[in-house]
Structure 1
Amino acid sequence: MLQTKPAVLIVAAGRGVRAGGAVPKQYQRIGGRAILARTVEIFMQHEGIGPVLVAIGAEDGPLYDAAVGEHPRLLPPVKGGATRQETVLRGLEALAAEGATHVLVHDGVRPFASAALIGRVIAALEGADAVLPATPVTDTLKRADGDGRVIATVDRGGLFGAQTPQGFRLETLLAAHRGAAAAGLAATDDAAVMEWAGVPVTLVPGEAENVKLTTPADIAAAGRRLRQDGLLILGETRVGTGYDIHPFTDGDTVHLGGVPIPHDRRLAGHSDADVALHALTDALLGALAEGDIGDHFPPSDPQWKGASSDRFLAFAAERVRARGGVIAHLDLAIVAEAPRIGPHRTAMRARIAAICGIGADRVGVKATTNEKLGALGRGEGIAAIATATIRLPYPVDPPGEETP
């Protein structure tokens, strides 16, 4: 392993004229944040990285301050030069003064480099002075003349597209850049400067997703990608419904929503006959497509005789968590002529929330009568209807399979 964590130089001094817009492209926003802020964040979150330095345009200080902010490992920005090479040289001189021994140089408008890619570059630096992430060219390449006519097909064998972050032994890259500046060399990336200096460059696999945002179309596509990623993080939303009804029998307490309510009768059932919790349990199990309460707690099993129904609802809530999901909302409607539900609604919401491990603001409880119609209207029992809204992560397709 490297003795010290490599520093990072993020090159963000360009004007990005091809991207258009009122500000340089690195300060344009995708997903509500500046591109440069997202790029910096990649390295701030990586445990294998040391100090981070951003090279910015001479007039971009206010834009940078508004977009990036501060972080303990983020050095004050350095002002770039007239060319990319001059900008990188200034950044390397600043990092050398900080005592850095290795450096990753990254484009400020590549906000999608993964932690795994950064890790590959760092690992390869243990045995190399220069490391370049790259992807093999897969498109057929054509050479055209000035009039747009194809004049040749280019053999793509052994051709790669260069990416960043590129990793280097800092003193070696700094010497190469100083020599290139003296010789007037114009190179498009730092690996090319090392090639010119005769330093071997080691390839590691790049990533197709690690795109450089250059044009308005690139930036628009990046915004769409972030929106899609946001939906994937939220996962799929599922809704389940549950219904239960129990008749009255002799007793003095009704259990509803996990709350005992004094009454001149009780509900008949194998457990405590809490129709509200039973309906909620079925709603959660339905959203999971995992059967119903009778499948998991059959009334034929004597162990559930007289059981408290909070056990059933807690089981269903745990099944959601076991699938990596969350309960977004529970809605309960109780149909009863008596007892009155209103005085107990707050206690029911709190109890249901506690059983499910969610906030009471995610639980709705309502009550209504059956307008004297039918058995419920005659006060012969109580019914409950429940709706559960949950979010589950999207399933990962097994290798070799495709989602239809």
Structure 2
Amino acid sequence: MSDADSPEGSGVFWALIPAAGIGRRMGTDRPKQFLTLGPRSVLAHTLSIFLEHPRIRGVILVLGPDVDPDALDLPLAGGRLFRVAGGDERADSVQNGLDFLEERAGPEDWVLVHDAARPCLPPDDLDRMLDELRDDPVGGVLAAPSTDTIKWADADGRVESTLDRERVWRALTPQMFRLGTLRDVNARARAAGHPVTDEASAIEWAGLRPRLVEGSLMNIKITRAEDLELARLYLLEQGRLDGGYRG
């Protein structure tokens, strides 16, 4: 249960990592989150970002029902890592994690949902997100302004219009919302058949407007085989291929 007397007050932070996906686009013999980057798995790198952060109360890891967690290279967590069974879709897995967390946290606690295949989240981005959103009435997402010209296509694959690049952002993760709000909205959106592509889309469906917090393009999502080498370079730059942050 969250501690109202903690230095963060109502700003108690939890991380939720849905890692039950299959990742078919990688074309590998295992899901992308279980591939290796240096001496550790992609998932282990991702988990360490939050487990090593002093302001994160705990991490909820959502795994596929057929995954043996004891066979994974998971970082030591001192009782701060909790495992939950996943669902058929990402939104189902997130809901399972939120339901589990609801028994351990308060409705005003913050939940940061982060893709398992984003192991290169810079620590400065995470700090900025916690600081900028902790008193926000809605919450928000890490995002990057578009550096490309974006075209809106019609049904025939022809350009219908050109979007204003100054207003187009790429949604990244973490996405950070209050536990009570996100749990309720995610469940209602799924029940209504709304496609929940990320947590912000469920919040938007409920009529709320998440805030955009600018983040680094270094925070890539590993989706294709070539992304592994780019992630390796970013982790080297961060000094994290030896198992932890430096500095």
Per the normalisation by structure 2, the TM-score is: 0.85
Q: Distance in 1 between matches of 2:35 and 2:49?
A: 17
Displacement, 1:152? 4.3
Q: 1:83 aligns with which of 80, 89, 99?
A: 89
Secondary structure of the 2:166 match is coil
Q: Distance in 2 between matches of 1:118 and 1:80?
A: 25
Q: Does 1:55 align with 2:62?
A: yes
Q: 1:156 to 1:78 in 2, by over 3 A?
A: same
Q: Counterpart of 1:244?
A: none
Displacement, 1:179? 0.7
Q: 1:228 to 1:45 in 2, by over 3 A?
A: closer
Q: Does 1:209 align with 2:215?
A: no
Q: Counterpart of 2:191?
A: 182
Q: Counterpart of 2:164?
A: 155
- In the TM superposition, 1:53-132 aligns within 5 A as 53-62=60-69, 65-100=71-106, 101-123=109-131, 124-132=133-141
Tell which deviates more after alignment, 94-103 or 44-53: 94-103
Output the amino acid matched with 1:190. Answer: E
Q: Counterpart of 2:177?
A: 168
Q: Distance in 2 between matches of 1:130 and 1:41?
A: 23
Tell which deviates more after alignment, 168-177 or 123-132: 123-132
Q: Distance in 2 between matches of 1:51 and 1:144?
A: 42
Q: Counterpart of 1:137?
A: 146
Q: 1:210 to 1:2 in 2, by over 3 A?
A: farther
Q: Does 1:196 align with 2:202?
A: no
Q: Distance in 2 between matches of 1:42 and 1:221?
A: 18
Q: Distance in 2 between matches of 1:2 and 1:190?
A: 24
* CA RMSD across the alignment: 2.4
- In the TM superposition, 1:289-328 aligns within 5 A as none
Secondary structure of the 1:9 match is strand
Give structure 1 stretches of 5+ with no counterpart: 234-404
Q: Counterpart of 2:5?
A: none
Q: Counterpart of 2:245?
A: none
- CA offsets 1:114-164 (integer angstroms, 9 cap, x no match): 222112222212223321111111101234567766554333231111111
Q: Report if aligned partners of 2:59, 2:82 keep a CA contact under 8 Å in 1.
A: no
Secondary structure of the 1:108 match is coil
- CA offsets 1:289-323 (integer angstroms, 9 cap, x no match): xxxxxxxxxxxxxxxxxxxxxxxxxxxxxxxxxxx
Per the normalisation by structure 1, the TM-score is: 0.53
Q: 1:8 to 1:190 in 2, by over 3 A?
A: same
Displacement, 1:178? 1.4
- CA offsets 1:11-58 (integer angstroms, 9 cap, x no match): 111001111211110000112210000000001111111011111111
Q: 1:173 to 1:222 in 2, by over 3 A?
A: same
Displacement, 1:79? 1.0
- CA offsets 1:227-285 (integer angstroms, 9 cap, x no match): 56559x9xxxxxxxxxxxxxxxxxxxxxxxxxxxxxxxxxxxxxxxxxxxxxxxxxxxx
Higher relative contact order (CA 8 A, sep 6+): 2
Secondary structure of the 1:127 match is coil
Q: Distance in 2 between matches of 1:195 and 1:4?
A: 22
Q: 1:28 to 1:70 in 2, by over 3 A?
A: same
Once the two structures are aligned, what percentage of the paired residues are identical? 37
Secondary structure of the 2:82 match is coil
Q: Distance in 2 between matches of 1:6 and 1:121?
A: 11
Q: Counterpart of 1:15?
A: 22
Tell which deviates more after alignment, 133-142 or 68-77: 68-77
Q: Distance in 2 between matches of 1:151 and 1:178?
A: 35
Output the amino acid matched with 2:147. Answer: T
Output the amino acid matched with 1:119. Answer: D
Q: Distance in 1 between matches of 2:165 and 2:119?
A: 28
Aligned length: 232
Output the amino acid matched with 2:82. Answer: P
